[in-house]
Amino acid sequence: MIGKFLLKNIMNSTNKIKIAVVHDDFIQFGGAEKLILEIAKDLKSEIDFEVEIFSSLISDRWKKILKEKDIKFTESFLSKIPFCYQISKVFFLSDLFYLSFQSFNFDRFDIVFSSSTRFGHCVLTKPRTFHISYINSPARALWDERKYFWGKKFLYLVFKNFLPQKRIIDFYSQNFADLIISNSKNIKNKVLKNYKLNSIVLYPFVKEFQLPYSNSKQKYFVLISRLVSWKKIDFVIEAFNSLDLNLKIIGTGPELIPLKSKSKNNIEFLGYVSENEKFELLSKATGLIFPQNEDFGLTLVESLLVGTPVIYFNKGGAKEILNSKLGTCFNSQDMNSLINSLKLHQEKQFDPNFLRSYGLKFTEKSFTRFIKKLIKSRV
């Protein structure tokens, strides 16, 4: 009996499709990290899939989450360096990030699914292992340095001599993937331009749980973002100071103190809030402010799903997925352009039901159905 039980378990384990899910790092708690967690959870729910996460660095907070979800994970040798989580960006100066991904051994896996905004796609696989590379964005520090190093002149002077060599490594690493998926048409164009490679488009998704929903909006706007210079939040502060409209800012970052010092009492900095609090605030807001040029922007979809329109900079992912029925655009990242859009926005009427139905196009079911079908077709 025991022998039969062991043999059955060995056969079940052998028959499973082994999938390695790779991501840059799990330090921040942003959209890309939440997305890859949901992908791993969904793949793990399949009885014939065996899933393990690999990453250069995984913070204690993320390790706790992964353990709670019963998801196996492996961290690279970078985790053995003292203060690695605090100084992770410094590793970019060396080749350590590339080496951390190339140090993983994927011989026992059938599929590697990498998610990358920087170096996650730089894994090495043997011919029997099929590598699906999901690109959230080519590394901005390499391919869009003007945007990435905005307001960081000293940092750019330190990094700039390393950039040409790293672009070469990045270019050839991306060419090793068996299939490239871009998270939007915007990124598809960047992949073609930077890597000279074709890709298919598969939009990311927002996990649709019991999201709050409100037809009655209150007199405040919401901005959800990391407070960093390239997000261009400074001109939003100027516009709301001028109009004396209420703005609630969710998020933290190095620009918190400078932005606070410029703000009047009508602007409230909430810092980190829970997911439930975020959606509650967003569902009752007059609109979401989206001032940056993002490659996609999951926050846009979250806003639509709770029936809240968006005031957005008309570039990148926002231009691709939004229109005048879903919000109000502005064409220049400056105070006057945003002021004009805010005035126009307050004169318009939006149908929360239409916003939500449009947002449902970016939910989990279609994404994971495609990925699962793709995985099974390659094994």
CATH number at residue 306: 3.40.50.2000
Task: Indicate the pLDDT class of residue 20, thresholds 50, 70 and 90.
Answer: very high
Whether residue 182 is found in the same domain as residue 41 = yes
Whether residue 297 is found in the same domain as residue 374 = no
**Of 113, 291, 294, the residue nearest 186 (C-alpha):** 294
Distances in Å between the Cα of 15 and the Cα atoms of 12, 50, 84, 110, 379 are: 5, 10, 38, 11, 11
Q: Which tens digit of pLDDT belongs to each residue from 153-201?
A: 777 777 777 788 888 888 988 999 999 999 999 999 999 999 999 999 9
Residue 28 has pLDDT above 90, yes or no: no
Domain count, the chain: 2
Structural domain includes residue 106: yes
Residue 37 has pLDDT above 70, yes or no: yes
Whether residue 161 is found in the same domain as residue 241 = no
Residue 8 has pLDDT above 80, yes or no: no
Whether residue 166 is found in the same domain as residue 245 = no
Whether residue 141 is found in the same domain as residue 32 = yes
What's the token pair of residue 288?
């979401």
Whether residue 332 is found in the same domain as residue 373 = no
Whether residue 342 is found in the same domain as residue 371 = no
Whether residue 130 is found in the same domain as residue 47 = yes
Whether residue 66 is found in the same domain as residue 25 = yes
Task: Indicate the pLDDT class of residue 4, thresholds 50, 70 and 90.
Answer: very low
Domain hosting 266: range is: 221-362
CB 226 within 8 A of CB 252: yes
Task: Indicate the pLDDT class of residue 12, thresholds 50, 70 and 90.
Answer: very low
**Of 87, 69, 70, 71, the residue nearest 79 (C-alpha):** 87
Whether residue 144 is found in the same domain as residue 229 = no
Structural domain includes residue 213: no
Q: Which tens digit of pLDDT belongs to each residue from 232-283?
A: 899 999 999 999 999 999 999 889 999 999 999 999 999 989 888 999 999 9
Whether residue 9 is found in the same domain as residue 87 = yes
Return the H-helix or E-strand segment holding 154: helix 153-159
Q: Which tens digit of pLDDT belongs to each residue from 313-340?
A: 999 889 999 999 999 999 999 999 999 9
Residue 78 has pLDDT above 50, yes or no: yes
Whether residue 174 is found in the same domain as residue 64 = yes
Residues contacting 98, CB < 8 A, separation 6+: 119, 122, 169, 173
